[in-house]
Amino acid sequence: MQDVREALYVGSRSDGTLIRRPMSPHLQVYKMRLSMFLSISNRITGVAATAGSALGVAWLAALAKGPKSFASARRITAHPLGQLILAGWIFSLVWHTVGGLRHFIWDAGQRDDKKSVNEDGPVAVGVIAGVGVTLAVALLGVSCCRAHGRAKLRKAS
């Protein structure tokens, strides 16, 4: 018995032998609702955002190391797969930020009843989709245009 919480599962038969009591079904008996999905997705996007930030630190380290390693980092971020990962990072950051802002509202004691939570969920989804897509497209688009412009300028000179 490793976890003290396990102690609460111990029961005994009438003859005194100890048994592990069965766990009642919990997750599987509920239909997935938007509030549940947004709750767990806040955690998942938090982990994804951390993974992306780790890559961001790798980018900073490449920048600090010198032009050669920065060029390698640039090759990765310019690759379609790298662009997809960057978009995913932006999206999970936006998602986690919106989730966090909702937590701030709840912590202030606002909009935390069942009705408000169900009303705000779709709004959160809309904000995430709108801001996420706009930010990802705009940032990646601006970077791509500028990189192409610079490359053309270099070729011309």
Partner 1 sequence: MNAPVSPRHDVMRSQLGRARGLGSGHSGTGHWIAERVSAATLLPLSGWFVVQMFRLGGADYEDVAKWGGKPLNATMLSALVISSFYHAEVGLQVIVDDYVHGKAHVPAKFGVRFVTGLLGLLGVVAVLKLALGRPASKA
Q: Measured from the CB of residue 130, what is the shortest distance to partner 1 in angstroms?
A: 15
Q: Determine, following the binding rule CB under 8 A, whether residue 3 of this chain makes contact with partner 1.
A: yes
Q: Measured from the CB of residue 129, what is the shortest distance to partner 1 in angstroms?
A: 17
CA nearest to 136, candidates 57, 75, 52, 44:
52
Q: What's the sign of the alpha-carbon dihedral 101, 104, 110, 116?
A: positive
State both tokens at 107: 């912590």
Q: Determine, following the binding rule CB under 8 A, whether residue 71 of this chain makes contact with partner 1.
A: yes
CB of 95 within 8 A of CB of 45? yes
Which residues within the stretch 109-128 sit at the binding site for partner 1 (CB under 8 A)?
none
DSSP state string for 38-73: HHHHHHHHHHHHHHHHHHHHHHHHHHHH-HHHHHHH
Q: Which stretch binds partner 1 (CB under 8 A): 27-35, 61-69, 111-119, 121-129?
A: 61-69
* Alpha-carbon span 60 to 69, nearest angstrom: 10
Q: Which stretch binds partner 1 (CB under 8 A): 25-33, 99-107, 112-120, 122-130?
A: 99-107
Q: Measured from the CB of residue 109, what is the shortest distance to partner 1 in angstroms?
A: 14
Where on the chain is the footprint of partner 1 (CB under 8 A)?
Answer: 1-10, 17-20, 22, 43, 46-47, 49-50, 53-54, 56-57, 60-61, 63-67, 70-71, 93, 97, 100, 103-104, 107, 135, 138-140, 142-150
